[in-house]
Structure 1
Amino acid sequence: MELLFLALLVFLMALALGSGFPVAFALPGSAIVTVAVAALCGYVATGNPDAYFSHGGPWQWLSAGVTNLRGVYWEVERDTLIAIPLFIFMGIMLQRSKIAEDLLVTMAQLFGPIPGGLGISVVFVGALLAATTGIVGATVVAMGLISLPAMLRNNYSKSLATGTIAASGTLGQIIPPSIVLIILADQLASAVDQAGTARKALHKAATGELSMPSSFGVVSTSAGEMFLGAFIPGLLLVAIYMLFILIYALINPKVAPAVHGGTFDKAFFAKLALALFPPLGLIFLVLGSILAGVATVNQAGAIGAVGAIMMAGYRLKDGSKDAYAPVILGLASLIGILAVLMIFQPNVKAIHTTQDALGVFLGVVATIGLIIAIGWSSWRAFKIENTLQEVMIETAKTTSLVFIILLGAAMLTAAFRAFGGEELVRDFLNGLPGGFWMKFTIVMAVIFILGFFLDFIEIAVVVVPIVAPILLADPSANITAVWLGVMIGLNIQTSFLTPPFGFALFYLRGVAPPIVKTLDMYKGVIAFISLQLIALVIVGFYPQLVNYLPNRASLTSETAPPPRNPRLDYCVDKYIHDQFVTKGAAINSAIAEARQLNLDYLPDRLKTGLEQSFEAAEEAPVLMAQAWEADDRINAAVVDYMPVQERVRRIQADIREEDEEIDDLKITIGRMRSDDQAEARAKLEARVADLEADRERLAAEIPADWKETYATFKALLKEETILSGKFRRAAGDGYKPVAEIVATLQDNAAYADLQADLMQIQSNLATADAADLVASIEDLSSRASEVEGASDISSGLSRVRRSLRNETPDFEKATEDMTELVADYEAQLDWRNQAEVNLLPTLERYEATIRGTLGIREQRRFDNEQALFVAACQSDHRDVSHYF
């Protein structure tokens, strides 16, 4: 019966959408009606309204959608959706203030003399508008009104002209900032949690181990990472569009002839700069602040909204003498704020000098100037053509539509899960032959087909929550959420072009002249849909195009994970291995030179530690080589092992499903004790017997030698894990003692500076007051704690201080402890001075040589070379299914 109501749910949704019923009400309406009908039928047929739900009841599922959306939107740590109205406002403001119109006209004149130049200019402007607005409707309408007549006037093919405009207008869906990327990031954040839980359960079921290594965890994403990940694929799509138009125009000049006209004089280039640089500046502020890690997506959205108001402030007063006054004031104020931050450290609570007060004063003046500039521009937008009010109304309408659809989709997804739809989809996908890539291909094909009938928002919020956890949980491809999100975003983008419901086609049809037929538009978009699919295939084969920038930004930021992070182990070891191959001779030479040093005058602890570190350093490359040999043996064995493992794991998954159903049926049978339930109980017992027989049949399909095969392969995995662990320990043991002694000797000057105060305290013990002595000792102890290798001095001073802090100060004990402390200090100073001359230069060279290999995990963060290597290494997908 659950399948019947699941079919009813899909039918009602398709009927409502196909009849033109508003999407915002079709999604929750079909969910509410189906849940209500299922509850009513359950109550009438069995007296239990929960009877026809796979689990839970009607009230639970009706409230689940609202609860889920509220938890996402009002949760403090997940405020991603706040960026949506900000970017919508920015896009509509730029479109209403005719910034886009200026850009199109100017770029068309610039590219016109090139074959296909008008088309290339449309793509170029579409990319710029995508990076500043992300609003498809506004972009397509603007370019349709301005560019289409010019292209037709210059004898462009109708299909090529309309296809170029429609496709270029959709670039806002993949080039950040993009609303669809924000929504996908939000949906994928929840999917990652579910996928992580599923993968842990899979690892436990396969290996029997209670915990899964964190390096096998599902990699999450955020809106900022989605923007970074989509940046290169977006540029790739722009390049493919331009290349197609250029080649098509060269092959068949009649469809896209070059346009000659206009002069490229100073006036033109001034106009070009005025049209091009402000949008580029806004792109730099919005995307640059995200890429550089200066601002979050929400903060970047606010920057974009303010920037759009500032640009509208001068464009709406075009031709007026004071048109640029607000933006000039704003730029001057920003420069002033940056200068204050660079020269001073403005902090109202930390004003101690005249310079501090001056920095705060200048900062306040510059901030007031910026506020005045923003207010001035806003007032202009409010008074001129009522622009600000209309933009805010449109923003409110569009934002409300997005959030109502999100709410409706959350309710629809909850109803889909209520009738076991999610389990049905998971079982279908997991049952497909061909592993992850077959599942992924089927999902992408379904999304592409749905794009013919549904908008991008419906696909993103209905389909993604169902299929994303299944794809992300699969360890065979071990894909990242950002790659999956960008791939889905590229696929969803085609929904704007695919007939019959391609929204870009509707937008363009509304502004196209009657001479352009709808059939011309359909013909025109076919080529660009094919180009989008080509881009999809390229990004699918080269995940580095998506993953590299987010990885690079993460590993080079101030909050970068340390090299010791377990998630980075594989790539860090790969970097060390490559360094051993290329610089092994230099490392061995440095070790040999260090071993020749005379360490006899060092304290026993330091001498023994250094000698052991040299031994560990010599052993580490050998262990590393053995670990990689073990990895090679695993890769060789995987070829024969994986087909058997995949077959067995599938059988075991089927057995677990049988066991779950058997357990549920036995519970139900145990509750059926009355005589009138005997017949029903007998049927259930027969069903249990059939399931148990089926379970036995499945168990018999597992190869007889599976346990032996698994044990042999697991031994290989264990060997590699042990060798890798030994190498990492040897590397740490080989580096840390050297780093500590180098840091100690480099602090010799600070250590010597303690001598005078130590002697002063020792001489004052006979005459000074105990309280004064304690104050002096505490001050010296604080200084000693900042000196590398002076912990013994701090401990000795603490003993002296305790003797003086008693109710009756024990000067005799304090003097004895102080005498011993001074003797220890002088002895340490002696060997420090000798070591600084005889050991430090060689040890510094040695430490610098092994820092990037044996000592890489002891560093606080990667250097630039290491970060870029690890970012590139992590950008590819790595199959880890043989560990499951």
Structure 2
Amino acid sequence: MIDPVLLCFIMFGTACVLLMAGFPVAFTLAGTALAFALLGAALDVFSLSLLTAFPQSIFGTMTNETLVAVPLFVFMGVMLERSRIAEELLDNMGRLFGSLPGGLAFSVCIVGALLAASTGIVGATVVTMGLMSLPTMVRRGYDKRLACGTIAASGTLGQIIPPSIVLVLLGDQLSVAYQNAQFSMGIFSPDTVSVNDLFAGALLPGLMLVGLYILYQIGYVVMRPQGAPAIADERPETLAGFAFFRQIFRALAAPVLLIIAVLGSILIGLASPTEAAGVGAIGATMLAGYRRDEARGWPILLGVACMAGLLALTASFDLRSQRTVVSQTEWIAIGAAVVLTFGLAFGVIVALMRTFNWRDRDGERVLAAVCQSTMAITAMVFTIIIGARMFSIVFIGLGGADYVEEVLNNLPGGTLAAVLLVMVIMFVMGFFLDFLEIVFIVVPIVAPILLQMEMPDGGTMNPVWLGIMMAVNLQTSFLTPPFGFALFYLRGVAPPQISTMDIYRGIIPFVFIQLFALILLWFLPQVATWLPLALYGR
């Protein structure tokens, strides 16, 4: 009789080979798992009754309110990309810093951070910056490898700087894993870890990465100034002095306000990630509508003012009318909220009409293109979730999870060695697999085990720290050849004089920077845990 654990790891290897061969992710995971479940049943090492958990798992995914944030954040990001916010930011930041040595590289990093906090879509960010900045940087005499590495690395910041789809999905997986870990330890009133905690924990590490990128660029400028020269100030006379800074403020104000509205409402506890994602989707739509016709922007501005008023009323009053006792002041606040809702609805309707009638460079209606992209990306994510659930059920049913737990618990070096091994495995898998496969295959298996293990100080592992370590590691997978998606995105829009080897060599320093960031988080976990502790006490 074959050892079921051996069968389990043959299944894992088969899935990896099929994924690297280019087969669709969701169908590969589900199909491989089902085939090995049937094989295991035929060999009498797997009970098909375990598959009855699969429909319930799908139902749990369908009713998971946290995951509703995924299509809303995707909609927000695609809408902002289509409304050309990135183009304005890149153009104005280039003018602001271009006269400094390395200024264009600094601009790309800053814009990458702003787009990460407002869109969070790696593909759109890399493509936009590749189309706009890469030809300019090469034409201005920048080293091709520095230019390629800067654009690819800055584009991946959307994976770690909240609000991030990766953090939403990782937070959902860690929440389940943390509860399972506590149940296994006999704790039946478990603490929770939420997406809010991961958002708060990821903010400082994300900004730290931006700072490390810029420090590397400064060092590059000092060592090789000819590779990142300053450019002459070519601003037109109409953009001199105060007029220029007014245009900079105009380009920055909208995305910064959207970031504050979305991320701020999550961090201060005013809204859940799903509710904040709804605010972001509406805000992005109104911003696109305003950009379409700024001369007649008053309906949009009215809607924005009404949205701000509603957020303020929600924070200050209990607006539920179905209560036994409602004070006169609260009735006035409820009435004001109704009026503000009508104003917001008017602004949203105007924005939707404008984006529906607005055609982009390809002749597509912006709203239709945004909805199609959102549907395609969301369907891909949720189909992968369903396939990964089947894979996890079969992997656990064959005894793979028990074997992994035994290996991790018996490693010389204890908990830290186990974490190091998991980080190395995730890093290596990032060379060949997408972050979604790693999140849904590896995290459900190893996270419950790691979160039960005892740390050197006698306590258990902080789930926020573990989540941020995994998130930074997953971000690196976008940059590591041969299957780093940021590299593919940049290769697709790079000018002819940029070779694939220029891109591969350019990202090497930034991969090492991200590994250095992981080392800093290892020795300074407070970078990830301080803000959640300050905001939520955990």
AA matched with 1:281: L
1:52 to 23, 45, 49: 45
- SS across alignment from 2:451: helix
Question: What residue is the counterpart of 1:158 in the other structure?
Answer: 144
Distance 1:189 1:151 in 2: 43
AA matched with 2:35: V
* Cα displacement string for residues 23-65 of structure 1 (whole angstroms, at most 9, x for unaligned residues): 121111111111122223x3xxxxxxxx222xxx1242x3434
Aligned 8 A contact 1:199 1:474 in 2: no
Question: What residue is the counterpart of 1:431 in the other structure?
Answer: 410
- Residue 19 of structure 1 and its aligned partner are, at CA, apart by 1.6
AA matched with 2:358: I
Distance 1:145 1:457 in 2: 26
Question: What residue is the counterpart of 2:72 in the other structure?
Answer: 86
Change (3 A) 1:270 1:465: same
Question: What residue is the counterpart of 1:442 in the other structure?
Answer: 421
Aligned 8 A contact 1:310 1:326 in 2: no
Distance 2:284 2:388 in 1: 31
Question: What residue is the counterpart of 1:747 in the other structure?
Answer: none
- SS across alignment from 1:440: helix
* Cα displacement string for residues 347-387 of structure 1 (whole angstroms, at most 9, x for unaligned residues): 7677897x887665544333211110111111111111211
Question: What residue is the counterpart of 2:471 in the other structure?
Answer: 489
1:140-151 correspondence to structure 2 within 5 Å: 140-151=126-137
Aligned 8 A contact 1:199 1:475 in 2: no
AA matched with 1:144: G
Aligned 8 A contact 1:65 1:412 in 2: no
Question: What residue is the counterpart of 1:472 in the other structure?
Answer: 451
Question: What residue is the counterpart of 1:303 in the other structure?
Answer: 279
AA matched with 1:162: C
Aligned 8 A contact 2:183 2:190 in 1: no
1:235 to 207, 211, 234: 207
AA matched with 1:511: V
Aligned 8 A contact 2:179 2:191 in 1: no
Question: What residue is the counterpart of 1:312 in the other structure?
Answer: 288
Question: What residue is the counterpart of 1:719 in the other structure?
Answer: none
Distance 1:459 1:398 in 2: 17
Distance 1:427 1:454 in 2: 25
- Residue 255 of structure 1 and its aligned partner are, at CA, apart by 1.1
Change (3 A) 1:63 1:143: farther
Distance 2:316 2:8 in 1: 65
AA matched with 2:356: F
AA matched with 1:376: V
- SS across alignment from 1:137: helix
AA matched with 1:529: V
| Uncovered stretches (5+) of structure 2, i.e. residues with no partner | 360-364
Question: What residue is the counterpart of 2:362 in the other structure?
Answer: none
| Uncovered stretches (5+) of structure 1, i.e. residues with no partner | 43-50, 201-211, 556-870, 872-884
Question: What residue is the counterpart of 2:183 in the other structure?
Answer: 197
Q: Which has the higher contact order (CA 8 A, sep 6+)?
A: 2
1:260 aligns with 2:232: yes
* Cα displacement string for residues 738-778 of structure 1 (whole angstroms, at most 9, x for unaligned residues): xxxxxxxxxxxxxxxxxxxxxxxxxxxxxxxxxxxxxxxxx
Larger deviation, residues 420-429 vs 528-537: 420-429
- SS across alignment from 1:101: helix
Question: What residue is the counterpart of 1:27 in the other structure?
Answer: 29
- Residue 426 of structure 1 and its aligned partner are, at CA, apart by 1.2
1:221-620 correspondence to structure 2 within 5 Å: 221-263=193-235, 264-317=240-293, 321-322=295-296, 324-334=297-307, 337=310, 361-385=335-359, 386-477=365-456, 478-555=460-537
- Residue 156 of structure 1 and its aligned partner are, at CA, apart by 0.7
Aligned 8 A contact 2:9 2:400 in 1: no
Distance 2:423 2:317 in 1: 54
- SS across alignment from 2:516: helix
AA matched with 1:110: L
Question: What residue is the counterpart of 2:112 in the other structure?
Answer: 126
TM-score in terms of structure 1 length: 0.57
Change (3 A) 1:362 1:511: same
* Cα displacement string for residues 464-499 of structure 1 (whole angstroms, at most 9, x for unaligned residues): 111111111012352111110110000011100000
- Residue 344 of structure 1 and its aligned partner are, at CA, apart by 9.0
Change (3 A) 1:299 1:439: same
1:776-791 correspondence to structure 2 within 5 Å: none
Aligned 8 A contact 1:65 1:408 in 2: no
AA matched with 1:328: L
Give % identity. Answer: 46
Distance 1:344 1:125 in 2: 37
- Residue 11 of structure 1 and its aligned partner are, at CA, apart by 3.3
* Cα displacement string for residues 684-712 of structure 1 (whole angstroms, at most 9, x for unaligned residues): xxxxxxxxxxxxxxxxxxxxxxxxxxxxx
AA matched with 2:14: L
- Residue 96 of structure 1 and its aligned partner are, at CA, apart by 0.8
- SS across alignment from 1:445: helix
Distance 2:313 2:23 in 1: 56
Distance 1:304 1:451 in 2: 30
AA matched with 1:375: I
Question: What residue is the counterpart of 1:109 in the other structure?
Answer: 95
Change (3 A) 1:66 1:111: farther
TM-score in terms of structure 2 length: 0.92
